[in-house]
Amino acid sequence: MPVLPIDAALIDRVAELLRHAAREAILPRFRALAEGEAEEKSPGEIVTIADREAEAILTHGLSALRPGVLVLGEEAAAADPGLLPAFHAGDAPTWLVDPLDGTANFAAGNEPFAVMVALVEGRETVAAWMLDPVADRLAVAVRGGGAFLDGARIRTPQDPAEAGTLRGAVLTRFLPPPLKAQIEARSGRLAAILPGWRCSGRDYPDIATGEQDFVLFWRGLPWDHAPGALFLEEAGGRTARLDGAPYRPRGDLPGLLVARSPAVWATVAETLLESTASA
Q: Is the pLDDT of residue 189 over 60?
A: yes
Q: Note whether 136 and 168 are same-domain residues.
A: no
- Averaged pLDDT, 19-41: 96
Q: Note whether 261 and 185 are same-domain residues.
A: yes
Question: Residue 58: which of 112, 129, 149 has the closest Cα?
Answer: 129
| Residue 241's CATH number | 3.40.190.80
Q: Is residue 1 part of a domain?
A: no
Q: How confident is the model at residue 279 (pLDDT cuts 50, 70, 90)?
A: very low
Q: Is residue 158 part of a domain?
A: no
pLDDT in tens, 71-108: 999 999 999 999 999 999 999 999 999 999 999 999 99
Q: Is the pLDDT of residue 4 over 70?
A: no
Q: Is residue 2 part of a domain?
A: no
Q: Is the pLDDT of residue 1 over 60?
A: no
Q: Note whether 134 and 22 are same-domain residues.
A: yes
The whole domain housing 261 covers: 163-277
Q: Note whether 148 and 41 are same-domain residues.
A: yes
Among candidate residues 153, 187, 210, the one where a domain is terminated: 153
Number of domains in the chain: 2
Among candidate residues 107, 130, 153, the one where a domain is terminated: 153
- Is 17 within 8 Å of 127 (Cβ atoms)? no
Percent of the chain with pLDDT over 70: 97
| Residue 58's CATH number | 3.30.540.10
pLDDT in tens, 253-262: 899 999 999 9
Q: What is the DSSP string of 127-156?
A: EEEEEETTTTEEEEEETTTEEEETTEE---
pLDDT at 41: 87
Q: Note whether 124 and 236 are same-domain residues.
A: no
Q: Note whether 102 and 64 are same-domain residues.
A: yes
CA distance 93 to 123: 9
Q: What is the pTM of this model?
A: 0.95
Q: Note whether 57 and 145 are same-domain residues.
A: yes
Among candidate residues 108, 128, 153, the one where a domain is terminated: 153
Q: Is the pLDDT of residue 276 over 60?
A: no
Cβ-based burial of 76 (10 A; exposed 0-12, middle 13-18, buried ≥19): middle
Q: Note whether 55 and 131 are same-domain residues.
A: yes
